[in-house]
Chain A
């Protein structure tokens, strides 16, 4: 898909490559990312996946520390409602995520830098599309304030 890009957008794109940390659950979203690979769905290289067994494992600290250390965006991805391998880890995460979002806002970071998504093991295409979307979004947001603080140059 070719889209007209303005000069301004082009400039931002050339200058800045965001880094996105993704915490994916083993059973659905990590498998969905694997499927994107098996299906050869191309997406930007800006994402790094950390595997956990369940989104329920993802401590708010994981997300906040990733941001503090300079991640431009953090994705939390798990099984669709009702599909959790551990029955309700994703519901626990969903509830927890509203607090995470508030915490992120309260430290002066755009809440759009953190995302919660449900991706099943069969949604390779969705995963690839999501990474494209997130990368674009982070490019528009620009480098995270913490990244600038950690790395002033």
Chain B
């Protein structure tokens, strides 16, 4: 038979943060009378060394088998107190918190009495849940020390090389025949004006000859099965399929240069209307000649087409792929909503290159906002010194491009300073277009179960705090697959993703959270609803019963709430545990 709960309650003053408002001794006395509470005390700071020692002593002295701390938020302090329980020999899942600071004393500072009543309620609820807590074991899985890097551009190669140099085996896959990605096709790079080959060729050579890197070109992903530490990936090429087993995956398959649709700024109508990428090619071949004037237009197809309300309405009911299709369709004419980060520098670089070759050419850059960050300011000044003209125009009125009778083009735009229309007769019009996500990434994201952001790129786990992680354990992002980046930034993210993956592979094992779904097979009728709604593919119907693969389950609990037979229980957030809190609040006597 199970041991009867013996709960210890520790109420924290948090200095004056709680104790200054809530009557902590009163709450402690109240806790002592609650069901199954064996022991209660209050501490000045429960999270201090003395407070933690007091918990450990009480666990031993009173033979406590559950601990409740009434203090701050579990979002910051649960791991600490769980650790203390563990040190005292108590399973860390036999711990519960009542948040009487962030959600009580800090927000009810002028209602001390009511705050004390609320604190008692919160403690009572936590104690009720604690009585029903069960010990849990966090599943531990082996991590294969092999990595798959998808995309052999500058970010992918950097990541592969970093891991290979640490001794991990790396499969580096690219859909192209040659590694190198977008950088291989560029001409000169900003701000050094070095040839792209100076950067990319040595990297390609090292990657090709590295004993730990298996470079697989002209190959794409067909299927990804498994989970962190144990991915089973099928690659495919015209020559057939190849199966590999890897522990981590780094997605570095890059982005594409946006090509304007025919007719946008007369692109595809007049052959002297080209993109910056095409100007790169013209410069590379030395074909620029000595034109009188070149006009560049910034933000063509970028920072456009905000998501419309009608699109947002459809959003809650669509999955990411549908959303992306919609966005892609809407963007086809309008372009992309974000700033692509590299186009300003790219335009300035090409302007400088033109000026170097043909100093007499008048280079005009039409912009709405010019964004030259960090040391690139110097590069901008260099362009100004070369008399490149920066003209701010009213973005909302797109420049009009016409052909004059003498065959020259003419750009008509509204000058932002004067508000007047200005006309530039010109030989070339060069459109600065953004990097855009690849359509094929929808499939890839689906396979990997990585969400897609509203911009259409693969989404990081946290924009600020986890920029190369994804929501899927063991899958990381590098380079422009998660949004526009220049070369140094791509290299940084490649190194970062490699470091994140190496932690897993170096440890050779990973522990995941114990909050997972458990199926009562006696109740399960194998309807498959859980399988249908799970975003991670954790439940699978086998022999008419749902089987949850613990390691895939992230613990959201959607399946448990949806199960028509109530056959699914969530560890640590069971129905009986949640309802115990409700009952303790509303009907404590019953």
Q: Which of A1-59 contact B (CB under 8 A)?
A: 19, 21, 26, 30-31, 33-34, 36-38, 40-43, 45, 48-54, 56-59
Q: Which of A84-106 contact B (CB under 8 A)?
A: 85-89, 91-92, 94, 96
Give me the 9 closest cross-chain CB pairs, A-B, nearest first.
A57-B557, A37-B102, A56-B558, A86-B556, A69-B586, A37-B106, A54-B556, A87-B535, A45-B114
Which residue in A34, A48, A91 is a CB contact (below 8 Å) of B73? A34
| Contact residues in A for B555 (Cβ distance below 8 Å) | 53-54
User: Are B109 and A40 in contact, with the CB atoms below 8 A?
Assistant: yes
Binding site for A on B (CB under 8 A): 73-75, 99, 101-104, 106-111, 114-115, 117-118, 121-122, 125, 312, 315-317, 319-320, 449, 451, 454, 471, 515, 533, 535, 554-558, 560-562, 570, 573, 575, 578-579, 581-583, 585-587
| Contact residues in B for A45 (Cβ distance below 8 Å) | 104, 108, 111, 114-115, 117-118
Alpha-carbon separation in the docked complex, A81 to B581 (Å): 28
User: Are B121 and A128 in contact, with the CB atoms below 8 A?
Assistant: no
User: Are A59 and B108 in contact, with the CB atoms below 8 A?
Assistant: no
Which residue in A53, A71, A87 is a CB contact (below 8 Å) of B471? A87
| Contact residues in B for A38 (Cβ distance below 8 Å) | 102, 106
User: Are B106 and A40 in contact, with the CB atoms below 8 A?
Assistant: yes
| Contact residues in A for B108 (Cβ distance below 8 Å) | 42-43, 45
User: Are B561 and A57 in contact, with the CB atoms below 8 A?
Assistant: yes
Alpha-carbon separation in the docked complex, A91 to B74 (Å): 25
| Contact residues in B for A59 (Cβ distance below 8 Å) | 560-561, 575, 578
User: Are B107 and A48 in contact, with the CB atoms below 8 A?
Assistant: no
Q: A57-B570, A87-B535, A91-B316 are in contact. Are A66 and B582 (CB under 8 A)?
A: yes
Which residue in B103, B115, B575 is a CB contact (below 8 Å) of A49? B103
Alpha-carbon separation in the docked complex, A30 to B316 (Å): 21
User: Are A34 and B582 in contact, with the CB atoms below 8 A?
Assistant: no
User: Are B101 and A37 in contact, with the CB atoms below 8 A?
Assistant: yes
The DSSP consensus for interface residues of chain B is helix
User: Are B575 and A89 in contact, with the CB atoms below 8 A?
Assistant: no
Which residue in B110, B317, B560, B581 is a CB contact (below 8 Å) of A42? B110
User: Are B579 and A65 in contact, with the CB atoms below 8 A?
Assistant: yes
User: Are A66 and B586 in contact, with the CB atoms below 8 A?
Assistant: yes
Q: Which of A53-82 contact B (CB under 8 A)?
A: 53-54, 56-62, 65-66, 69-71, 81-82
Residue of B nearest to A61 (CB): B575
User: Are A86 and B558 in contact, with the CB atoms below 8 A?
Assistant: yes
| CB pairs A–B below 8 angstroms (20 shown) | A34-B73, A34-B99, A34-B103, A37-B101, A37-B103, A45-B104, A45-B114, A48-B121, A50-B582, A53-B570, A54-B558, A57-B573, A62-B582, A66-B586, A70-B586, A81-B316, A82-B454, A87-B320, A88-B558, A96-B561
Which residue in B102, B562, B573 is a CB contact (below 8 Å) of A53? B573
| Contact residues in B for A70 (Cβ distance below 8 Å) | 586-587
